[in-house]
Amino acid sequence: MTIDKNQLATFAGGCFWCLEEIFKTFKLQEGIIDVTSGYMGGEKEEPTYEEVCSGNTGHAEVVQIKFNPKKINYSTLLKIFWKNIDPTVKNKQFCDIGSQYRTTIFFYTEEQKNLAKKSLEEIIESKKINGEIYTKIMPAEKFYKAENYHQNFYKNHEYRYKMYKAGSGREKKLKEIWENK
């Protein structure tokens, strides 16, 4: 009997379309087996996109990453995550506002929890971030896969996605936070 040695990582960082694209197209993707957009951290069972967007379910938009830790480690995934969010805002990411767009690292193991806390400490010590960091580190909860039309949105709806991403101010803000210090 073969035991699956792959692991899961789940991150909330605003629009799940953007995080899905980042993790699916990252240069070390040979260790990333799958990236799925979905919802986590709320009370409602089987929430829909419309319900999550209302801000009333308590869920965040997330990406769940299945990865091979022999090819890409969790610390690398954390670095990718941090460089693609604005941790200095609460319940908001770029043009998206509401608790469903909060930033959270959902951990599955004690090791992931410790690595997440270490990565947060490193960011604080680097002094790249001015002010409070609102990104939470929490135990993973039940994951709900988003509707099929959200999966691979950046590829399947390329024009609409590019317009959204350009209009969100995401790239400009990320450069201000991470590259100019």
What distance in Å separates the CA atoms of residue 92 and residue 100, rounded to the nearest whole number? 8
Asked if 9 contacts 65 with a C-beta cutoff of 8 angstroms, the reply is yes
Residue 32's beta-bridge partner residues? 67
How many degrees, rounded to 5, is the angle at CA 157 between CA 49 and CA 171? 85
Q: Which two tokens stand for residue 30?
A: 């040979």
Catalytic residue annotation: 15
What distance in Å separates the CA atoms of residue 144 and residue 3, rounded to the nearest whole number? 24
